[in-house]
Amino acid sequence: MRSVKKRSAPTIFVDPAVFKSYDIRGTVPDQLNADVARLIGRGFAAEIEKQNIVVGRDMRTHSEELTDALTEGLLESGCSVTDIGMVSTDALYFAVGHLGADGGVMVTASHNPPEYNGFKMCRENAEPLSGTEGLARIQDSIELDDFLLERGRGSVEKKNILDVFVDHALTFVDVEKIKPFKVVIDAGNGMGGVVLPRVFDRIPATHVPLFFEPDGTFPNHPANPIDPNNLKALKKAVKSEKADFGVAFDGDADRMFLMDEQGEQLGGDMAMLLVIKSMLKKNPGATILYNLICSNAVPELIEREGGNALRTPVGHAIIKPMMKKENALFGGEHSGHFYFRDNWYADSGLIAMLIAMESLSEAEKPVSELIAGLNPYFRSGEINVKVRNIPKTLDKIVAEYASQRPDYTDGVTVTFDDWWFNARPSNTEPLLRLNVEAQSAELLEEKTATLLKVVKGRRKAAAKKK
């Protein structure tokens, strides 16, 4: 039962900026420290109002200290805590569902630099908390010192769930059908290095490990595979090892990216094509969700394979509830997040990798050749532009392309017969994110340049000069 009395403001300051759209995240120790983590534990207990909580952490240098403090806050609130130790984020989601827990907290800052840390939170059945669904109330609880009334001190039980998690992930594929691929995997000194050896002990494929030693200082490169600069070692190894393909995981190993045998990085939506093809073969007519940044190749493949394609805004806090409402089999994002109905609608980079491997095994084609046959388009990738006034910039874009009836589902999407673009604000930074797709490389270059002139305020000046 929650208290109802408004109490005095706490003596410990918690920077409101750490409360993001999808998680709590900030720098250590100025924004996040043991005192703040303890209060977050108490705030989470007040929001959940139930007692059985799973807690996991990544390999960051301060994750253990923050986990201990978070756990203390939960215990003070009377929660029973299951500590699953150092795990990937998708293993934490699995544990919450598998153990029938009331909620879970993963201590991680995902792909952020080493000075960052944070908390990804979920309710029972791995249902995520977000800014509008829980995180704002946790912030209010902390600011008002409004926590659960005393109900006795909770207890802690330690449990190892990684082997059971791997068992679960392997149920998504026919292990015997996976070919003896040679795969180079870059774990980025993140949590993939803890989980993946257990997987490759169980499947016919072999792996060449890069940076599997967990190290929160990230001595080799940032654990952010969406940035091509962080994939140079993987590209080199794929070529030198003559590997069938490469795989990269982010720091907490919930996102997965593929690289073809030629060392070319594939976007998250291209990896989706492999997963969708395999899943619809086993589940004809199933509903598949994709976010609006994904290539047109995604809905086109879903429809060709007899599935039901549903377009969504960006973000797991939106996609997971929508999947549940639509009983969707699978959902995916361009950012490398892949969601599975039979995984409590939670995302898993590991499950996505296994299904992609099964799909490649059945195709009997190199990755580059298979993707080329499924994808006729050219894409810019995500272009991040710093702008002073994001709403004003979006208004300029709308004015420029008003005749095309812009779609405002998530930012602004404008569609032409032979190209389209989306412009949307970042949830965490003063950035405008642009994605452009066209039917030819020349058209992509031309339209991207024009759009950037509009965004940067150079369109009118250029026109006058001409």
- Other beta carbons within 10 angstroms of residue 81's beta carbon come to 24
Confidence of residue 464 (pLDDT cuts 50, 70, 90): very low
Confidence band for 8, pLDDT divided at 50, 70 and 90: very low
In this prediction, residue 150 carries a pLDDT of 65
Q: State the DSSP H helix or E strand holding residue 260, giving kind and residue range, or none if neither.
A: none
CATH code of the domain containing 385: 3.30.310.50
Range of the domain at 458: 378-465
Beta strand pairing call for 378-379 and 383-386: unpaired
DSSP assignment letter at 84: E
- The lowest-confidence range among 313-322, 325-334, 361-370 is 313-322
Place 147 in a pLDDT band, splitting at 50, 70 and 90.
confident
Query: What pLDDT is stored for residue 39 in this prediction?
Result: 96
Q: 326, 350, 328: which is closest to 337 by C-alpha?
A: 350
Exactly one of 63, 77, 88, 110 is catalytic; name it: 110
| Residue at a domain's end among 130, 160, 190 | 160
C-alpha span between 204 and 434 (Å, rounded) = 40
Residues 310, 448, single domain; the answer is: no
**pLDDT confidence bin for 149, thresholds 50/70/90:** low
CA-CA distance, 69 to 76, in Å (whole number)? 11
Q: Say yes or no to pLDDT of 260 above 50.
A: yes
Q: Are residues 322 and 182 in the same domain?
A: yes
The closest of 359, 52, 5 to 147, measured between CA atoms, is: 5
Position 317 pLDDT exceeds 70: yes
Q: CA separation (Å) from 382 to 76, 244, 447?
A: 44, 27, 14
Structure confidence at residue 146 (pLDDT)? 80
Residue 364 or 428, more confident: 364
> Which pLDDT does position 132 carry in this prediction?
80
Alpha carbon 6 to its chain centroid, in Å, reads: 37
Give the whole-angstrom CA distance, residue 2 versus residue 15: 24
* Site of tokens 């989306």: 422
Q: What percent of the chain has pLDDT over 70?
A: 95
Determine phi and psi for 322, rounding to 5 degrees. Answer: -65, -35
Q: Is 414 within a domain?
A: yes
Do the domain assignments include residue 436? yes
Whether residue 237 sits in one domain with residue 270:
yes
Strands 80-86 and 156-158: parallel
Residues 183 and 205 in one domain: yes
Q: What is the pLDDT of residue 3?
A: 45
Instruction: Tell me, yes or no, whether 10 lies in a domain.
Output: no
In this structure, what DSSP letter does residue 16 have? G
Residue type, 301: L
Nearest Cα neighbor of 104 from 128, 69, 77, 140 is 128
Question: Is the confidence at residue 310, as pLDDT, over 70?
Answer: yes
For 234, the token pair is 């993987």
Same domain (yes/no): 189, 312? yes
116 with 197, same domain? no
In a domain, 70, yes or no: yes
| pLDDT one-digit tens code per residue, 197-242 | 999 999 999 999 999 999 999 999 999 998 999 999 999 999 999 9
* Cα 241 from Cα 363, distance rounded (Å): 22
Is residue 87's pLDDT more than 80? Answer: yes
Distance of alpha carbon 274 from its chain centroid, rounded?
18
pLDDT band with cut points at 50, 70 and 90 for residue 21: confident
Residue 462's pLDDT is what?
32
Residue 287 and residue 428 in one domain? no
CATH number of the domain residue 39 falls in? 3.40.120.10
**Same domain, residue pair 349 and 422:** no
In 3D space, the residue among 178, 360, 330, 191 whose CA is nearest the CA of residue 266 turns out to be: 360
Q: Which of 343, 374, 405 is the last residue of a domain?
A: 374
Rounded distance between C-alpha atoms, residue 197 and residue 249, angstroms? 14
User: What average pLDDT score do residues 241-264 get?
Assistant: 97
455 assigned to some structural domain: yes
What tens digit of pLDDT does each residue of 164-193 get? 999 999 999 999 999 999 999 999 999 999
When the pLDDT of each residue in the chain is averaged and rounded to a whole number, the result is 93
Residue 439 in this model has a pLDDT that exceeds 70: yes
Instruction: Judge if 115 and 190 occupy the same domain.
Output: no
- Neighbouring residues of 457: CB distance < 8 A, sequence distance ≥ 6: 396
Domain membership flag for residue 106? yes
Check whether 1 has a pLDDT greater than 60: no
Please report the DSSP string for 192-241 in residue order. Answer: HHHHHHHHHTSSS-EEEEES-S--TT-SSS-S-TTSGGGGHHHHHHHHHT
Query: What pLDDT is recorded for position 463?
Result: 31
450 shares a domain with 429: yes
**What's residue 306's pLDDT?**
97
Q: Quick one: 328 and 386 in the same domain?
A: no
Percent of the chain with pLDDT over 90: 85
pLDDT value for 130:
87
Helix, strand, coil shares of the chain as percentages rounded to 5? 40, 20, 40
pLDDT of residue 151: 73
Residue 257 falls inside a structural domain: yes
3-state DSSP assignment of residue 27: strand
Q: Using alpha carbons, list the distances in angstroms from residue 368 to 52, 304, 374.
A: 46, 20, 10
9-38: average pLDDT: 91
Question: Which of these three, 374, 401, 422, is where a domain ends?
Answer: 374
- Residue 390 scores a pLDDT above 70: yes
Question: Residue type at 343?
Answer: N
Number of domains in the chain: 3
Distance, in Å, from the CA atom of 72 to the CA atom of 154, rounded to the nearest integer, reads 9
Do 96 and 242 lie in one domain? The reply is: no
Question: Is 380 annotated as catalytic?
Answer: no
Question: For residue 365, is it within any domain?
Answer: yes
Query: Is the peptide bond prior to 29 cis by the omega test (within 30 degrees of 0)?
Result: yes
Residue 158 has pLDDT above 60, yes or no: yes
